[in-house]
A and B are shown apart, each in its own frame.
Chain A
Amino acid sequence: MSVIDDILSETDPEKIRKETEFNYREYVNPFALRMFKNASLDIVEGKREGASVWDVSGEKYIDCVTGAGIFNVGRHNTEIVADLKKALDVYDMGGWISILRERGLLAGKLAEITPGNLKYSLFCCGGGEAVEVAVKLARGHTGRRDIICMENGYHGVTGFALPATGRDVYKTPFAPLAPGYLHVPFNNIEAVKEAVTEDTAAVLLEPVQGEGGIIPADEDYLRSLREVCDQNEILLIFDEVQTGFGRTGKMFCAEHSGVVPDIMVLAKSLSGGIYPISCAVFTEDISDFLMTHPFVIINSFGGTSLACLVALATIEYIEKNDLPARAHNMGERFMAGLNIIREKYPDLVVDVRGKGLMLGMEFLDDSIGPRMVYQLRKNGVITIYTFNNPRIIRIMPTLVITEQEVDVVLDALERSLRQIMIQEERFEEGRQK
């Protein structure tokens, strides 16, 4: 028996739960475990399939977090898993200093499916790393320093990505950070124009702010940004880590506005939820910097043979099943239901919004988001509030979610709101006494 045989053969849910909680408490992060338990998110994942995940005890939940957009192709997609198994019989990760056929094939595929003249890809493992690559390319290509970013934007928490994230709580404990990052209000073109200087290298933003509260960029704003960037020879970087690969109803969110960035950052769902991979895709112009500096942006585990094969299988699955169209259709069904709920609970729900299956529900005050997360778990749905704005819960299911499952989530949302309404009434009664 190998260690993996040992782990996989254990079927006693109580034993698995106790062992996992013990290990988290003793060796991982006791406070994170406490927070998960408090928030009723202490689900020890067992089976994963389609739109759902099962606790080891067998309780089923519809996953509306999906790691903020990792599992576009569904949880534990068996077609992609089968492909990976075949690849594992032949390959290991591949040497980073070698030339890998799979890496070339994936880069070619990305050049084909990303908009406009985006062509070359540099690969990494996570979204933050890919943002760092984008920042380095922008500075290297332009010879300028400053990156204009958005307030409440989220781009990860690693070295050159952390300063771009637009919220101090992530940054303050780790000062001093890399300099040269300016934050301006989102969806405000005048603020960008005012921030531009001769030392501006790039404007970096998410076409839909994820952690900021599921806030789509106005399409006119994106077009104006493109103009401002072109006029000032500034690069435009779209962070499509959460929005990419069909999530918003198009393969890439950029397609809604028709604006082509100079660099596009991709991660999360490129992995198929199976094998980590991320990348920055950029134009031929920008690649000139790498002619003179070919080995200054390197990554041991970026774009391995196995990761690239999984990414190719993931893209094939998305295209074959037309997941962008599915996200659009299911998103419309969701939005119709969410609007009915909003009208029914005007004292609690302020707004519902989003694109495709990147949806958010905004509440009257900050406390309702965490309380809804708590209630929804009890009603069979996993979600989480957006980290930069807790009054908004995200609804980001897999793109393979069915109509029936959409209706189950809508029903759970309504029941949870009703329960919170009852809590509010009870609290007010207590106060009047």
Chain B
Amino acid sequence: MATADEIMEALEDFKEQCNNNKRLRRMQRDWSKVLHYEAADTGDTFTMTVVEGETTRNEMGKHGTPDVVIETDSETMCDMFWGDANPTQKYLKGEIRVKGSQEDVMRIDAITAVIWPEV
């Protein structure tokens, strides 16, 4: 089980990786979304705000109206942001639940593919 601080740390690392990747910023420039993350086993929640491909902030708790809601256990959530798990594989196996459009699921997978192509 991962703590809220550990997940936040993983989120911040993910944010840095995304924002420092020029290729990713260009690819995602038409993607502005509010994403809510829910750790099913601990009840911790997080909000990630993406504006034109740039992750502008990560916050604890739920803020704003989400375009995408991602729910999984806290360990898997950390693995996802550390690049230790393929989120689409987990989603298709029912270990991650996503409420949102299939296009957004593919965008999230594209981010993972660019940062961690081997995952």
Cβ of A353 under 8 Å from chain B: no
Residues of B within 8 A of A367 (CB): 91, 97-99
B102 CB to nearest A CB, Å? 4
Residues of B within 8 A of A38 (CB): 86, 88-89, 92, 109
Residue of B nearest to A168 (CB): B103
Most B CB contacts (10 A, CB to CB) among A34, A39, A385 go to: A34
- Bound together, the chains give a CA A367 to CA B105 distance in angstroms of 10
Q: Are A427 and B97 in contact (CB under 8 A)?
A: yes
Q: How many residues in A have their beta carbons less than 8 Å from beta carbons of B?
A: 27
Cβ of B73 under 8 Å from chain A: yes
Interface residues of A in 355-414 (CB under 8 A from B): 365-367, 369-371, 374, 385, 390
Residue of B nearest to A433 (CB): B41
A377 CB to nearest B CB, Å? 10
Residues of B within 8 A of A39 (CB): 88, 92
Cβ of A430 under 8 Å from chain B: yes
Q: Are B92 and A40 in contact (CB under 8 A)?
A: yes
Cβ of B110 under 8 Å from chain A: yes
Q: Are A430 and B92 in contact (CB under 8 A)?
A: no
Residues of B within 8 A of A30 (CB): 113
Residues of A within 8 A of B73 (CB): 430
B38 CB to nearest A CB, Å? 9
Residues of B within 8 A of A31 (CB): 110, 113
- Bound together, the chains give a CA A412 to CA B93 distance in angstroms of 17
Given contacts A430-B40, A431-B41, contact A35 B106 (CB under 8 A): yes
Q: Are B92 and A371 in contact (CB under 8 A)?
A: yes
Cβ of B64 under 8 Å from chain A: no
* Residue-wise interface mask of A (19-54) relative to B, using a CB-CB cutoff of 8 A (1 in contact, 0 not): 000000000001100110011100000000000000
B58 CB to nearest A CB, Å? 23
Q: Are B94 and A370 in contact (CB under 8 A)?
A: no
Q: Are A426 and B86 in contact (CB under 8 A)?
A: no
Residue of A nearest to B98 (CB): A367
Q: Are A366 and B109 in contact (CB under 8 A)?
A: no
Q: Are A370 and B101 in contact (CB under 8 A)?
A: no
Cβ of A169 under 8 Å from chain B: yes
Q: Are A424 and B94 in contact (CB under 8 A)?
A: yes
Cβ of A173 under 8 Å from chain B: yes
Residues of A within 8 A of B103 (CB): 169
Cβ of A16 under 8 Å from chain B: no
Residue of B nearest to A369 (CB): B102
Q: Are A430 and B41 in contact (CB under 8 A)?
A: yes
Cβ of B16 under 8 Å from chain A: no
Cβ of A56 under 8 Å from chain B: no
Cβ of B30 under 8 Å from chain A: yes
Q: B-contacting residues of A (Cβ < 8 Å)? A: 30-31, 34-35, 38-40, 169, 172-173, 365-367, 369-371, 374, 385, 390, 420, 423-424, 426-427, 430-431, 433
- A-B contacts, 27 of them at CB < 8 A, read A31-B110, A34-B113, A35-B88, A35-B106, A35-B109, A38-B86, A38-B92, A38-B109, A39-B88, A39-B92, A365-B99, A366-B101, A369-B102, A370-B102, A370-B105, A371-B91, A371-B92, A371-B93, A374-B92, A390-B102, A420-B94, A423-B93, A427-B94, A427-B97, A430-B41, A431-B41, A433-B41
Q: A-contacting residues of B (Cβ < 8 Å)? A: 30, 40-41, 73, 86, 88-89, 91-95, 97-103, 105-106, 109-110, 113
Known: A366-B101, A370-B105, A423-B93. 18 other contacts (CB 8 A): A34-B109, A35-B88, A38-B89, A38-B92, A38-B109, A39-B88, A172-B30, A367-B99, A371-B92, A371-B93, A374-B93, A390-B102, A420-B94, A423-B95, A426-B94, A427-B94, A430-B40, A431-B41
